[in-house]
Amino acid sequence: MGQKDSTEEAGLIAHWTFDEGAGKGAKDIAGGFVDPVEYVFNDARFTTPCDPQWRKGVRGGALLFDGYSTWVTRRAGQVEAPRDALSVTAWVAPRSYESGEGQRLSAIVNQHDRENKEGYILGMYRHGSWSLQLGLDGAWEEVWATDDPLAKHQWSFIAATFDKSTGLMKLYLNGKEAASKAVSKHAGITPARTDLLLGKNNRSTVIAEAFHLNMFNGMMDDVKIYNRALSAEQIAHAYAVHLSPYGGKIPPIPCDDIKLDRSLLLNDRHRPQYHVSPPAHWMNEPHAPIYFNGQYHLFYQHNPQGPYWHHIHWGHWVSGDMVHWRDVPVALAPEKDAVDPDGVWSGSAAYDENGVPALFFTAGDDNAKPNQSVGLARSAFSEDGDNDLVRWVKHPEPVIEQPQGIGLTADFRDPFVWKEGDTWYLLIGSGFETEGGTALAYTSTNITDWEYKGPFYVGNINKYPYLGPVWELPVLLPLGKDKAGNEKHLFLISPVGPGADVEVFYWIGAFDKRNFKFIPERNEPQLIDVGDFHFTGPSGMVDPKTGRNILFTIAQGERTPHLDYISGWAHNGGLPVSVYLREDGRLGVEPIEELQALRGEKLVSFENKPLEEANGLLKDVKGDMLEIRLELEAQDADQAGIKVRCSPGGEEETLVYYDYREEMLKVNRTKTTLDRFERSNGVQGGKLELGGEHLKLRIYLDRSMIEAYANGLKSLTTRAYPSREDAMGMQIWASGSRSATVKSMEVWRMKPAW
């Protein structure tokens, strides 16, 4: 078995071993070409350029394809186009599956044009199914392996053959036949006049202007193309020879070899480093926080294929303190024959009847009507003792389906679950056509059987049109008793739909458990954050360790799809925020105290300095990962605040300030960046009544992130993408020639959270 078959190389027209281990080219040892490997960071704009990611393979090396920017190109005409027979063999280890957009394959090897019925493609489809497809004399033929999917994070040896003389197309998985199809005898492959690509479909679907779908995500090794049909015996022999160094078993892949690599983005000058973020690619809102066995778990909407919105999974972080985080494997992914074949959307976490974590999620199934329901997954902790909660088992059926005539059809999502006594409560976002957004209420005694209790609260879209027709991500948190002894709750939502202002709105009020209704103190909602569209996607929990209400949000990145593409990431979470009922009945908003653990060197500390003297002390204080504490007495200034991310000549700067006449906390980004492709501009802000207090700011700079917390009452989250690398300074500011005094100021460097 260890000797090479003397006929193995006959008819070999291309062979990529991927043994290079470095560089931007992959050598075809059969054809003698070195083919370019496209990769987003070959010529990086915002981070350190680097080669494509090379890894250990089954035979020597392997190439890791990132799912959206990595592919190998052989120019048309530089490789023989098989006509009468074809074989393709390869070792592949997928990292994730695509949704099959446009009913096209995530290409492993292809030189084809499906619309013109030319050429050939071997690739993957939904949920790991895979296929060989050929243009045969005016017909498009496909053979599929649907019952033998390619497993994620594992090596598989695949082979695909076509023989004109027998009229057979065949697929083999790990040395055994997986599928076969008879086609017209004596019909040959019609050559396609396209480049031959590895990892990218040469007739791919494009979304968001910049992203090609139908890309392979994972590792490849030892790809071969023949102009003949290998026999079943030759394929089985090749498989056995490859595994002879491993005792006949497929070698496991170390997690570090195939996971998304966070280290590639550590030097990105715009990517936050102490805010939660996926290791790479796309995230939506963080959600479903839960504390279990000494660790906090936080999940997030994630596309592991690239930095664009599509085919959402649940990413997963773990922390001991809500400040220092670790990446762990994706918790939930869309699955065939499950409740969520078309996406695992937002939800929440609770404890089941045995105190073990359970996840409630929005299950996407486009074959169902409506296509959204509530899914349930339980942790397998009780079976395997995995304290990182990596493995989850989905309930086979939806636990809640949208009742007919209740809410807007197909707008039924983002369940929020909590338990009081022996009862679990659930709110889910929806809307009513003539009234506005709503959260619908359910109760259960066992987390699988739920009873509908009616609308929890309904918006008034006629009076408050910015609340939109649909509400997402409802959250209810207990605030305790007010001074009169009345129990208060905090109800938060995020509006969507025509006319909606996509922010986090809230009401303080009473939770009427008897009637399952929320009764607000005042009908008009309020904002926690007065930035514009940067603080969205709320989720929350009562911290079992401290009893605090903790709120998590997404910090929208605001960039164009092109900038997301070349950056390799999109969006991150905001800092964890403690929300509470103040003595004056208003909502208190503060970043959690644990963030002090990220403080490094203290750069400056002073008190009671006039503006000019204070700026002299700040002259050499520079950085883009800082915590700033500032108390300002405005004296006769109409506006006062602080400029951050300032270049030495003031060409770029971002001003966070308070307007005393308008009683508004604002940010001025008209000079934030000179880069015309970035979207950071304009003035944003919102109402903040200080009641005669000095302005007290806690500002967190984390590269492109700017978060300002004012007087424990409001936050202002925004973004800055300076074009100049020296935009690192700061300066206290007051309007015109007006005076102001810095009552106190402290600045610390901040350390990464990862």
pLDDT digits (tens, 9 = 90+) for 123-146: 999 999 999 999 999 999 999 999
- Asked if residues 175 and 236 have their Cβ atoms less than 8 Å apart, the reply is yes
Q: Which pLDDT score, from 0 to 100, does residue 2 have?
A: 40
Instruction: Give the max Cα distance, the chain.
Output: 92
Q: What percent of the chain has pLDDT over 90?
A: 97
Sign of the C-alpha dihedral, residues 325, 331, 334, 340? negative
DSSP 3: S
Q: Looking at the predicted structure, is the pLDDT value of residue 97 above 70?
A: yes
Residues whose CB is less than 8 angstroms from the CB of residue 337 and which lie 6 or more positions away in sequence, other chains included: none
In terms of Cβ atoms closer than 10 Å to its own Cβ (0-12, 13-18, 19+), residue 389 is buried
Residue type (1 letter), 333: A
Tell me: the pLDDT tens digits for 301-352? 999 999 999 999 999 999 999 999 999 999 999 999 999 999 999 999 999 9
Sign of the C-alpha dihedral, residues 359, 362, 364, 370? positive
What is d(CA 108, CA 57) in angstroms, rounded to the nearest whole number?
A: 16
Pick left, alpha or beta for residue 655 (phi over 0 → left; psi -120 to 50 → alpha; otherwise beta): beta
Q: Which pLDDT score, from 0 to 100, does residue 5 have?
A: 45
Tell me: the pLDDT tens digits for 684-707? 999 999 999 999 999 999 999 999
Q: Which pLDDT score, from 0 to 100, does residue 7 have?
A: 59
Tell me: the pLDDT tens digits for 283-301? 999 999 999 999 999 999 9
What is d(CA 584, CA 490) in angstroms, rounded to the nearest whole number?
A: 15
Residues whose CB is less than 8 angstroms from the CB of residue 207 and which lie 6 or more positions away in sequence, other chains included: 101, 213, 308, 310
Q: At CA 335, angle to CA 386 and CA 574, rounded to 5?
A: 65
Residues whose CB is less than 8 angstroms from the CB of residue 93 and which lie 6 or more positions away in sequence, other chains included: 62, 152, 153, 154, 155, 156, 218, 219, 220, 253, 258
555-577: average pLDDT: 97
Q: Which pLDDT score, from 0 to 100, does residue 728 have?
A: 98
What is d(CA 67, CA 217) in angstroms, rounded to the nearest whole number?
A: 4
What is d(CA 307, CA 280) in angstroms, rounded to the nearest whole number?
A: 7
Token pair 């060409």 is found at 651
Q: Looking at the predicted structure, is the pLDDT value of residue 680 above 50?
A: yes
Q: Looking at the predicted structure, is the pLDDT value of residue 1 above 50?
A: no
Token pair 């999917």 is found at 149
Average pLDDT, the chain: 97
626-652: average pLDDT: 97
Q: Which pLDDT score, from 0 to 100, does residue 8 have?
A: 66
Q: Which pLDDT score, from 0 to 100, does residue 600 have?
A: 98
What sections of 513-664 are H helices per DSSP? 561-567, 611-617
Q: Which two tokens stand for residue 283?
A: 């995230």
3-state secondary structure at position 334? coil
Q: Give the C-alpha distances (Å, rounded to integers) separating 252 from 56, 264, 287.
A: 11, 24, 32
Pick left, alpha or beta for residue 363 (phi over 0 → left; psi -120 to 50 → alpha; otherwise beta): beta
Q: Which two tokens stand for residue 730?
A: 């700061």
Q: Give the C-alpha distances (Å, rounded to integers) separating 214 from 124, 126, 211, 249, 571.
A: 9, 10, 10, 30, 23
Q: Does domain 13-255 have CATH number 2.60.120.200?
A: yes
Q: Which two tokens stand for residue 66?
A: 């990132």
In terms of Cβ atoms closer than 10 Å to its own Cβ (0-12, 13-18, 19+), residue 495 is buried
Would you tell me how many other CB atoms lie within 10 Å of the CB of residue 101? 17
What is d(CA 256, CA 598) in angstroms, rounded to the nearest whole number?
A: 26
Tell me: the pLDDT tens digits for 3-41? 444 456 899 999 999 999 999 999 999 999 999 999 999
Q: Which two tokens stand for residue 671?
A: 């000079």
Q: Which pLDDT score, from 0 to 100, does residue 736 have?
A: 79
> How many DSSP H helices and E strands does the chain contain?
5, 53
What is d(CA 458, CA 748) in angstroms, rounded to the nearest whole number?
A: 45
Q: Which pLDDT score, from 0 to 100, does residue 384 have?
A: 84
- Asked if residues 476 and 489 have their Cβ atoms less than 8 Å apart, the reply is yes
Residues whose CB is less than 8 angstroms from the CB of residue 150 and which lie 6 or more positions away in sequence, other chains included: 92, 94, 124, 128, 130, 156, 158, 173
Smallest Cα–Cα separation from 428: which of 452, 445, 447? Answer: 452
> Parallel, antiparallel, or unpaired: how do β-strands 325-332 and 313-319 relate?
antiparallel
Smallest Cα–Cα separation from 348: which of 535, 214, 477? Answer: 477
E-strand stretches of 574-636: 577-581, 587-591, 599-610, 625-633
- Asked if residues 280 and 265 have their Cβ atoms less than 8 Å apart, the reply is yes
Give me the residues paired with residue 644 across strands.
654, 730
Q: Do domains 13-255 and 599-750 have the same CATH topology?
A: yes
- Asked if residues 710 and 688 have their Cβ atoms less than 8 Å apart, the reply is yes
- Asked if residues 274 and 705 have their Cβ atoms less than 8 Å apart, the reply is no
Smallest Cα–Cα separation from 110: which of 192, 16, 180? Answer: 192
3-state secondary structure at position 598? helix
Peptide bond between residue 94 and the one before it cis (omega within 30 degrees of 0): no
Tell me: the pLDDT tens digits for 503-534? 999 999 999 999 999 999 999 999 999 999 99
List for the chain the helix, strand, coil content (%; round to 5).
Answer: 5, 45, 45
> Parallel, antiparallel, or unpaired: how do β-strands 569-570 and 281-292 relate?
parallel
pLDDT band at 737 (very low <50, low <70, confident <90, very high): confident
Q: Which pLDDT score, from 0 to 100, does residue 620 have?
A: 97
Sign of the C-alpha dihedral, residues 335, 341, 343, 347? negative
Residue type (1 letter), 227: N
Give me the residues paired with residue 83 across strands.
none
What is d(CA 141, CA 145) in angstroms, rounded to the nearest whole number?
A: 14
Pick left, alpha or beta for residue 531 (phi over 0 → left; psi -120 to 50 → alpha; otherwise beta): beta
Tell me: the pLDDT tens digits for 180-233? 999 999 899 999 999 999 999 999 999 999 999 999 999 999 999 999 999 999
Q: Looking at the predicted structure, is the pLDDT value of residue 724 above 70?
A: yes
Q: Looking at the predicted structure, is the pLDDT value of residue 739 above 90?
A: no
Give me the residues paired with residue 7 across strands.
none
Domain residue ranges of the chain, discontinuous segments joined by +: 13-255, 599-750
Residue type (1 letter), 33: F
Helix (H) / strand (E) containing 536: strand 536-542
What is d(CA 718, CA 277) in angstroms, rounded to the nearest whole number?
A: 16
Q: What is the DSSP string of 370-437?
A: SSEEEEEEEE-HHHH--TT---EEE-SS-SEEPPTTSSSTT--EEEEEEEETTEEEEEEEEEETTTEE
pTM of the model: 0.97
Pick left, alpha or beta for residue 260 (phi over 0 → left; psi -120 to 50 → alpha; otherwise beta): beta
Tell me: the pLDDT tens digits for 226-256? 999 999 999 999 999 999 999 999 999 999 9
Q: Which pLDDT score, from 0 to 100, does residue 270 have?
A: 98
Residues whose CB is less than 8 angstroms from the CB of residue 679 and which lie 6 or more positions away in sequence, other chains included: 558, 559, 560
Q: Which two tokens stand for residue 664?
A: 């508004």
Q: Does domain 599-750 have CATH number 1.10.10.10?
A: no
Tell me: the pLDDT tens digits for 382-423? 888 889 999 999 999 999 999 999 999 999 999 999 999 999
* Gap between the terminal Cα atoms of the chain: 47
Q: What percent of the chain has pLDDT over 70?
A: 99
> Parallel, antiparallel, or unpaired: how do β-strands 61-66 and 71-74 relate?
unpaired
